[in-house]
Amino acid sequence: MKQFYGLIGLLNVAVGVMFYTVNITPTPAHASPGPVVIARRTPASIPATQGIPTRVQVPSLNIDLPVGVGTYNPGDASWTVDATRAYYADASMPINNSNGTTLIYGHAQSTVFETLPQIQADAEAIVTTDTGFAFHYRLSSSKEVPPSDVSVFTSTGAPTLVLQTCIGAFSELRALYSFHLVSIDTL
Protein backbone atom coordinates (compact mmCIF):
# COMPACT_ATOMS: atom_id res chain seq x y z
CA MET A 1 0.00 0.00 0.00
CA LYS A 2 2.91 2.25 0.75
CA GLN A 3 4.15 1.81 -2.81
CA PHE A 4 0.75 2.75 -4.15
CA TYR A 5 0.70 6.08 -2.29
CA GLY A 6 4.32 6.71 -3.32
CA LEU A 7 3.42 6.20 -7.00
CA ILE A 8 0.40 8.56 -6.71
CA GLY A 9 2.60 11.20 -5.07
CA LEU A 10 5.21 10.90 -7.83
CA LEU A 11 2.50 11.19 -10.48
CA ASN A 12 1.13 14.34 -8.81
CA VAL A 13 4.58 15.93 -8.79
CA ALA A 14 5.05 15.13 -12.51
CA VAL A 15 1.66 16.64 -13.42
CA GLY A 16 2.40 19.72 -11.31
CA VAL A 17 5.77 20.30 -12.98
CA MET A 18 4.22 19.88 -16.41
CA PHE A 19 1.40 22.32 -15.59
CA TYR A 20 3.86 24.87 -14.22
CA THR A 21 6.14 24.61 -17.26
CA VAL A 22 3.37 24.94 -19.83
CA ASN A 23 1.12 27.52 -18.18
CA ILE A 24 2.83 29.41 -15.42
CA THR A 25 6.50 29.68 -16.32
CA PRO A 26 7.36 33.38 -15.96
CA THR A 27 9.29 35.26 -18.62
CA PRO A 28 12.90 35.63 -17.43
CA ALA A 29 13.72 39.17 -16.22
CA HIS A 30 16.30 39.72 -18.97
CA ALA A 31 13.96 38.68 -21.79
CA SER A 32 11.63 41.25 -23.31
CA PRO A 33 8.63 40.40 -25.36
CA GLY A 34 9.29 40.81 -29.08
CA PRO A 35 7.56 43.47 -31.15
CA VAL A 36 3.99 42.85 -32.06
CA VAL A 37 3.86 42.29 -35.80
CA ILE A 38 0.58 42.92 -37.56
CA ALA A 39 0.43 41.56 -41.06
CA ARG A 40 -0.67 44.27 -43.49
CA ARG A 41 -2.74 43.41 -46.49
CA THR A 42 -1.81 45.12 -49.67
CA PRO A 43 -4.93 46.28 -51.46
CA ALA A 44 -5.59 44.48 -54.69
CA SER A 45 -4.52 46.55 -57.65
CA ILE A 46 -5.00 46.12 -61.33
CA PRO A 47 -1.91 47.07 -63.31
CA ALA A 48 -2.39 49.51 -66.14
CA THR A 49 -2.37 48.19 -69.67
CA GLN A 50 0.24 50.22 -71.48
CA GLY A 51 2.77 50.32 -74.27
CA ILE A 52 4.74 52.47 -76.69
CA PRO A 53 2.80 53.38 -79.85
CA THR A 54 3.98 51.65 -83.03
CA ARG A 55 1.08 52.46 -85.39
CA VAL A 56 -1.67 55.08 -85.57
CA GLN A 57 -4.81 54.92 -87.68
CA VAL A 58 -7.62 57.37 -88.30
CA PRO A 59 -9.85 55.30 -90.61
CA SER A 60 -12.17 58.16 -91.63
CA LEU A 61 -9.16 60.10 -93.00
CA ASN A 62 -7.32 57.09 -94.49
CA ILE A 63 -4.44 57.69 -92.08
CA ASP A 64 -2.45 54.54 -91.31
CA LEU A 65 1.12 55.27 -90.25
CA PRO A 66 4.00 53.67 -88.44
CA VAL A 67 4.93 55.52 -85.24
CA GLY A 68 8.51 56.11 -84.14
CA VAL A 69 9.73 57.49 -80.83
CA GLY A 70 10.46 61.21 -81.10
CA THR A 71 11.85 63.87 -78.83
CA TYR A 72 10.99 67.51 -78.21
CA ASN A 73 14.05 69.64 -77.45
CA PRO A 74 12.93 72.61 -75.32
CA GLY A 75 16.33 74.30 -75.82
CA ASP A 76 15.73 75.04 -79.48
CA ALA A 77 12.01 74.07 -79.67
CA SER A 78 12.75 71.33 -82.21
CA TRP A 79 10.99 68.02 -82.75
CA THR A 80 12.09 64.71 -84.25
CA VAL A 81 10.16 64.62 -87.55
CA ASP A 82 10.26 63.26 -91.08
CA ALA A 83 7.84 62.72 -93.95
CA THR A 84 7.44 58.94 -93.55
CA ARG A 85 5.87 58.44 -90.11
CA ALA A 86 4.21 59.92 -87.06
CA TYR A 87 6.07 60.14 -83.75
CA TYR A 88 5.24 59.36 -80.14
CA ALA A 89 6.59 62.22 -78.01
CA ASP A 90 8.71 60.49 -75.39
CA ALA A 91 8.08 63.39 -72.98
CA SER A 92 4.41 62.35 -72.83
CA MET A 93 2.83 59.32 -71.15
CA PRO A 94 2.98 55.94 -72.89
CA ILE A 95 -0.39 54.75 -74.18
CA ASN A 96 -2.29 53.40 -71.17
CA ASN A 97 -5.73 52.86 -69.66
CA SER A 98 -4.90 54.57 -66.38
CA ASN A 99 -4.13 58.27 -66.70
CA GLY A 100 -2.33 61.06 -68.51
CA THR A 101 -1.91 62.27 -72.06
CA THR A 102 -0.08 60.54 -74.90
CA LEU A 103 1.06 62.79 -77.73
CA ILE A 104 1.54 61.52 -81.28
CA TYR A 105 2.62 64.19 -83.75
CA GLY A 106 3.57 64.50 -87.40
CA HIS A 107 4.12 66.82 -90.34
CA ALA A 108 1.19 68.36 -92.16
CA GLN A 109 2.28 66.60 -95.35
CA SER A 110 0.29 64.28 -97.58
CA THR A 111 2.34 61.31 -96.39
CA VAL A 112 1.63 62.00 -92.70
CA PHE A 113 -1.07 64.22 -91.07
CA GLU A 114 -2.09 66.62 -93.87
CA THR A 115 -5.75 65.51 -93.71
CA LEU A 116 -5.99 65.68 -89.91
CA PRO A 117 -7.61 69.17 -89.92
CA GLN A 118 -10.55 67.62 -91.88
CA ILE A 119 -11.44 65.29 -88.99
CA GLN A 120 -15.13 65.05 -88.08
CA ALA A 121 -16.84 64.82 -84.69
CA ASP A 122 -16.68 61.37 -83.05
CA ALA A 123 -13.93 60.19 -85.42
CA GLU A 124 -12.09 57.07 -84.31
CA ALA A 125 -8.35 56.75 -83.79
CA ILE A 126 -6.64 53.41 -83.18
CA VAL A 127 -3.17 53.12 -81.70
CA THR A 128 -1.28 49.82 -81.75
CA THR A 129 1.44 49.29 -79.13
CA ASP A 130 4.66 47.36 -78.83
CA THR A 131 2.97 45.27 -76.11
CA GLY A 132 0.35 43.81 -78.48
CA PHE A 133 -2.68 45.99 -77.77
CA ALA A 134 -4.91 48.15 -79.94
CA PHE A 135 -6.29 51.19 -78.09
CA HIS A 136 -9.50 52.63 -79.58
CA TYR A 137 -10.32 56.32 -79.10
CA ARG A 138 -13.07 58.81 -80.05
CA LEU A 139 -12.45 62.47 -80.87
CA SER A 140 -13.40 64.71 -77.95
CA SER A 141 -12.12 68.17 -78.89
CA SER A 142 -9.60 70.16 -80.86
CA LYS A 143 -7.74 73.41 -80.37
CA GLU A 144 -5.01 75.52 -81.89
CA VAL A 145 -1.99 76.62 -79.88
CA PRO A 146 1.25 78.46 -80.60
CA PRO A 147 4.37 76.28 -81.06
CA SER A 148 5.65 77.41 -77.65
CA ASP A 149 2.65 75.81 -75.85
CA VAL A 150 3.86 72.42 -74.64
CA SER A 151 1.33 72.05 -71.83
CA VAL A 152 0.31 68.73 -73.38
CA PHE A 153 3.38 67.23 -71.68
CA THR A 154 2.01 68.02 -68.22
CA SER A 155 -1.58 66.99 -68.79
CA THR A 156 -3.09 64.70 -66.18
CA GLY A 157 -6.45 63.04 -65.72
CA ALA A 158 -8.15 60.33 -67.71
CA PRO A 159 -6.15 58.50 -70.40
CA THR A 160 -6.13 60.76 -73.44
CA LEU A 161 -4.61 60.59 -76.91
CA VAL A 162 -3.60 63.85 -78.60
CA LEU A 163 -2.70 63.96 -82.29
CA GLN A 164 -0.76 67.09 -83.25
CA THR A 165 0.19 68.66 -86.56
CA CYS A 166 1.06 72.11 -87.90
CA ILE A 167 -1.59 74.38 -89.39
CA GLY A 168 -1.78 77.86 -90.84
CA ALA A 169 -0.48 79.42 -94.04
CA PHE A 170 3.08 79.25 -92.73
CA SER A 171 2.61 76.36 -90.26
CA GLU A 172 2.63 78.98 -87.53
CA LEU A 173 0.21 77.13 -85.21
CA ARG A 174 -0.20 73.62 -83.83
CA ALA A 175 -3.55 71.82 -84.02
CA LEU A 176 -4.20 69.44 -81.13
CA TYR A 177 -6.91 66.79 -81.54
CA SER A 178 -7.87 65.16 -78.21
CA PHE A 179 -9.39 61.68 -78.06
CA HIS A 180 -10.84 59.78 -75.10
CA LEU A 181 -10.25 56.06 -74.59
CA VAL A 182 -13.13 53.79 -75.62
CA SER A 183 -11.73 50.25 -75.52
CA ILE A 184 -8.65 48.05 -75.76
CA ASP A 185 -8.22 44.91 -77.85
CA THR A 186 -5.49 42.30 -77.64
CA LEU A 187 -3.85 41.64 -80.98
Q: The domain spanning residue 121 has which CATH number?
A: 2.40.260.10
Tell whether 178 is covered by a domain: yes
Whether 89 is in a domain gets the answer yes
Beta-bridge partner residues of 66:
55
Question: Is 105 domain-assigned?
Answer: yes
Cα(174)–Cα(116) distance, rounded to whole angstroms?
12
Mean pLDDT across the chain:
84
Query: Does residue 95 contact residue 48 with C-beta atoms inside 8 Å?
Result: no
Asked whether the predicted pLDDT for residue 174 surpasses 60, the reply is: yes
Instruction: List b or e across 10-23, with b for residues whose CB sees 16 or more CB atoms inside 10 angstroms.
Output: eeeeeeeeeeeeee
Which of 12-16, 39-43, 62-66, 157-161 has the least mean pLDDT? 12-16
Return the pLDDT at 156.
86
Number of domains in the chain: 1
Evaluate whether residue 116 is within a structural domain.
Answer: yes
- On whether residue 1 sits in a domain, the answer given is no
Look at the pTM and tell me if it is higher than 0.85.
no
The answer to whether residue 19 is domain-embedded is: no
Q: Would 171 be classed as within a structural domain? A: yes
Q: Is residue 65 part of a domain?
A: yes
Tell me how far apart the alpha carbons of residues 119 and 121 are, in angstroms, rounded to a whole number.
7
DSSP string, 130-182: TTSEEEEEEEEEEEEE-TT--GGGG--SS-EEEEEEEESTTS-EEEEEEEEEE
CA-wise closest residue to 50 among 86, 123, 91, 102: 102
Give per-residue pLDDT as tens, 80-92.
999 999 999 999 9
Name the phi and psi angles at 69, rounded to 5.
-95, 125
Structural domain boundaries enclosing 154:
50-186
**pLDDT tens-digit map of 17-42:** 454 444 544 555 555 555 555 555 55
